Amino acid sequence: MLHTYKADYLVVGAGASGMAFVDTLVTESDKTVIIVDKDDKPGGHWNHAYSFVTLHQPSSFYGVSSKELSRGVKDKVGLNKGLNELASGAEVLAYYDELMREYFLPSGRVHYFPKCEYLGDGLIRSILTGQTFTVEVNKTVDSTYYKTSIPATHTPGFPVDDSVHFMPPNTLPKLQQVIQNVTIIGGGKTGIDTCLWLLERGVPADNIRWIMPRDAWLLDRKNTQPTKEFFGDTIGAQAAQMEEIANSCSIEDMFLKLEQCGYFLRLDESVLPKMFHGATMSKLEVEALRSIKQVVRLGRVSSVEETKIVLEQGEIPLMDNEIVVDCTASAITNLDICQVFNENVITLQTVRSYQPVFSASFIAHIELTYDDIKKKNNLCRVVPLPNHDYEWVELTYRNMMNQFFWSKEPGLKKWLQNNRLDGFMAMVAGVKFYEFENLKILNRMRKAAKPAIAKLKEYKAQLENESKEY
Ligand SMILES: Cc1cc2nc3c(=O)[nH]c(=O)nc-3n(C[C@H](O)[C@H](O)[C@H](O)COP(=O)(O)OP(=O)(O)OC[C@H]3O[C@@H](n4cnc5c(N)ncnc54)[C@H](O)[C@@H]3O)c2cc1C
């Protein structure tokens, strides 16, 4: 007979999303929770990240709502200089470990099963002992839906000859040899981090070759600073974004206008990006990356052979002892969306653009506050994670509409202002009647919101028609 544990909720996954959900549940109710995770420590993919990984958004609105992650300082040196600090992977992991040991477990309402796999239908198996047990819960929360993938644990989608020095970025800091020539495969955030790490460690830009199948639109980190001194940048960028959407005459024109107003950045101004993953960069980082001149734009890699790399549109030679770094793991491997609330299952997804942890906390709050499943789903419409540049249209439209629906809901505004994962609501609510410049920005935002939504709706219809034609 299998042992059975009982609780109100089973949360599958102790990653950032699962932890943010449980935190709000424990803080705002007396519910009981079972957390199960295959990893030995909470933090999900951060457990396997490369040692030089950091957040790309300020620490002050990452983690869980009840516990501060930021030390409230701005970086004084480095490529994030002048901006609010970014927690390292090690800091993120220590934070979640403390949260589990000092808050969740002592609450007496959280039962945590590390190194255990959820097999479905209430069945859990310990990875180390092989023993199975069951859980009896009212609801299951799936925080694994996005299927996050990272370089250390993914398998590249192309064959690699055994003779090549091929490695994930995790291996680079452990190397004890001179790096003569290095090729980075992948133009996403991991590729960016790896190039920056090499440059910061003094590897000459001329020795770095960067395979970039697609260029990306990037967000300027200065516009994501949740402290008052950056009001003009952060909220100003929101106002400019809405104005430029409204003023644009085509999707391409919109992207270019958004770049001109400082909302978007790109690495090479002569290449029109086709990708958007929400990567957030400082201008100093962008400048440093521009020093790498050997950028290979020949599509995706098909194979890495003993003497060459074969790509979709050509091939490039490999030097003797050249190091090839695999940065092709795409953080999110499942981009489909589904309804958040079903009868007994809650599937965590983003309900605000690029904000998985805020979204998980928000979903927990809605779960606790409302009974009607239709109402819950209406308040938690998924804002899909983007891949292609044009998907920014759908994402921004849904994001703005959610904001609009939430503003109509009594009590939600106050909750948002008090949730540290929100980042910006408190800043907006804190504007005083004599802060004329800030009031002007808010006014610009109010004025541009409706025309921007109308324009996004037009672009959405256009994209839907185009996709029907293919
Ligand atoms: C390098 C990097 C930097 C990032 N920086 C930021 C940032 O600055 N800001 C931001 O908002 N987002 C950032 N992100 C996005 C990131 O994906 C999220 O912030 C978040 O960490 C994702 O957490 P998660 O809980 O959704 O998923 P995961 O971290 O993947 O957690 C899922 C967990 O579920 C467990 N699991 C899966 N299946 C099972 C099963 N069957 N049984 C038991 N356990 C299971 C896994 O072991 C894992 O621990 C970054 C992502 C990466 C890769």
> What's the per-residue H, E or C state across 60-93?
HHCCECCECCCCCCECCCCCCCCCECCCEHHHHH
Q: Is 227 exposed, middle or buried (0-12, 13-18, 19+ CB in 10 A)?
A: middle
CA distance 296 to 311: 10
Cβ–ligand 1 contact at 144 (below 6 Å): yes
Cβ–ligand 1 contact at 44 (below 6 Å): yes
Considering the entire predicted model, what is its pTM? 0.95
pLDDT value, residue 233: 96
Cβ neighbours, 10 Å, residue 349:
26
CA distance 300 to 278: 20
CB-based contact 468:263 (threshold 8 Å): no
CB-based contact 294:208 (threshold 8 Å): yes
Same fold, 4-148+332-387 and 166-217+266-326: yes
pLDDT value, residue 454: 97
Write down the residue that tokens 């990708």 correspond to.
275
Helix (H) or strand (E) holding 325: strand 323-326
Task: List per-residue pLDDT tens for the chain, 470 residues long.
Answer: 779 999 999 999 999 999 999 999 999 999 999 999 999 999 999 999 999 999 999 999 999 999 999 999 999 999 999 999 999 999 999 999 999 999 999 999 999 999 999 999 999 999 999 999 999 999 999 999 987 666 666 789 999 999 999 999 999 999 998 999 999 999 999 999 999 999 999 999 999 999 999 999 999 999 999 999 999 999 999 999 999 999 999 999 999 999 999 999 999 999 999 999 999 999 999 999 999 999 999 999 999 999 999 999 999 999 888 999 999 987 665 668 899 999 999 999 999 998 999 999 999 999 999 999 999 999 999 999 888 999 999 999 999 999 999 999 989 999 999 999 998 888 999 999 999 999 999 999 999 999 999 999 999 999 998 876 65
Domain residue extents for the chain: 4-148+332-387, 166-217+266-326
Q: Residue 137: name the closest of 34, 249, 253, 19 by CA.
A: 34
Structural tokens at position 425: 């609501």
Question: Which residue owns the Cα nearest ligand 1 atom 44?
Answer: 37
CATH superfamily of 4-148+332-387: FAD/NAD(P)-binding domain (3.50.50.60)
Cβ–ligand 1 contact at 352 (below 6 Å): no
Q: Per residue in 376-399, pLDDT tens?
A: 999 999 999 888 999 999 999 999
Ligand 1: centre distance to CA 113 (Å): 17
Cβ–ligand 1 contact at 148 (below 6 Å): yes
Cβ–ligand 1 contact at 62 (below 6 Å): yes
Structural tokens at position 62: 């990452």
Please name the residues in contact with 264: beta carbons below 8 A apart, sequence gap of 6 or more.
217, 218, 219, 220, 255, 258
* Length of the chain as a residue count: 470
pLDDT value, residue 268: 96
Give, as one character, the DSSP assignment of residue 122: T
Ligand 1: centre distance to CA 35 (Å): 15
Which among 22, 36, 38, 45 is the best mutation to test ligand 1's pocket, defined by most ligand atoms within 8 Å of the CB?
A: 45
Q: Which residues pair with 214 in a beta bridge?
A: none
CA distance 360 to 31: 16
CA distance 214 to 178: 30
CATH superfamily of 166-217+266-326: FAD/NAD(P)-binding domain (3.50.50.60)
Cβ–ligand 1 contact at 356 (below 6 Å): yes
Question: Which residue owns the Cα nearest ligand 1 atom 52?
Answer: 331
Structural tokens at position 44: 């999900």
Buried b (16+ CB within 10 A) or exposed e, 292-305: beebbbbeebeebe
CA distance 464 to 261: 27
Cβ–ligand 1 contact at 234 (below 6 Å): no
pLDDT value, residue 167: 95
Cβ–ligand 1 contact at 215 (below 6 Å): no
Question: Which residue owns the Cα nearest ligand 1 atom 49?
Answer: 44
Q: Residue 287: name the closest of 267, 312, 310 by CA.
A: 267
pLDDT value, residue 336: 81
Cβ–ligand 1 contact at 382 (below 6 Å): no
- Taking CA atoms, 162 is separated from 10, 98, 303, in Å, by 43, 42, 12
CA distance 321 to 439: 59
Q: Residue 360: name the closest of 15, 20, 11 by CA.
A: 20
Cβ neighbours, 10 Å, residue 455:
22
Structural tokens at position 452: 């921007």
CA distance 77 to 379: 42
CB-based contact 36:117 (threshold 8 Å): yes
CB-based contact 13:22 (threshold 8 Å): no
